[in-house]
Amino acid sequence: MRTTLPDGREQKLVREFFGGARSGFFVEVGANRPQQESQTWHLEQLGWTGVLIEPQPDLADDLWRVRSAKVFAVACSSPGNAGRRMGLHLAGALSSLDRDRMAPGVEPERVIEVPVRTLDDILIEARAPTQFDLLSIDVEGHELEVLSGFDFARWRPRLILLEEQRLVCPARRDDRRGATRTLGYRSQILSWPAVPHRAQRVARLAPAAA
């Protein structure tokens, strides 16, 4: 996840939030690589377990080999997209289901078809505990759709790491070129009870179907 915090600082804040707990349950949507830039590897090393969701087949295979958490080789999206196969635009860690929402300047290498499920459906199959500890979502612009398929009232995660994509907006008057400008990305760390008030409000903005 791209973040405005220095390297390792976000992980340190997460550990501090949970008081260095040696057990817990995490859910990482868009897990990508097993260790590098992982939001949950440092917790698994402490003794945590959880769910890793990664649609890229080769990366999912790596997760199965290296990690002890349950791995689901699917993409998460809205209830309207669940059960379909969607095109994943491959660009390494910047891969996305949404070509128009990919990071500025990123050109996908190719497109592959991947199965799609809601986050609720995956957590039910994984027998995830209600009121689990950490939810991390980093899916390159598809966060709203993921949230629309997640029941906050049922699961009540204690902490959410959510990548927020700041959209392209009109240039300010002092921008000489008069072009649009991209504000980029940042990470949000939401803890209960802020989660239902902020993340759930964001989820309602998601389209019901693609």
Q: How is the chain split into domains, by residue range?
A: 9-203
* pLDDT at site 167: 40
* pLDDT at site 204: 46
* pLDDT at site 76: 94
Per-residue pLDDT of the chain in tens (210 residues, 90 and over written 9): 333 444 577 788 899 999 999 999 999 999 999 998 899 999 999 999 999 999 999 999 999 999 999 999 999 999 999 999 999 988 878 888 877 777 777 788 889 999 999 999 999 999 999 999 999 998 888 888 999 999 988 998 999 888 755 443 333 333 433 333 333 334 455 554 555 454 444 444 444 433
Q: Is the Cα torsion angle 94, 98, 103, 105 positive or negative in sign?
A: positive
* pLDDT at site 100: 77
CA 112 → CA 53, 103, 121, 131, 140, distances in Å? 17, 19, 22, 34, 16
Quick check: 77 and 145 in contact, CB under 8 A? yes
Q: Please state which architecture CATH assigns to domain 9-203.
A: 3-Layer(aba) Sandwich (3.40)
- DSSP character string of 41-110: HHHHHHT-EEEEE---HHHHHHHHHH--SEEE-SEE--TTTTTSEEEEEEBTBT-BS-GGGSPTT---SE
* pLDDT at site 143: 86
* pLDDT at site 173: 36
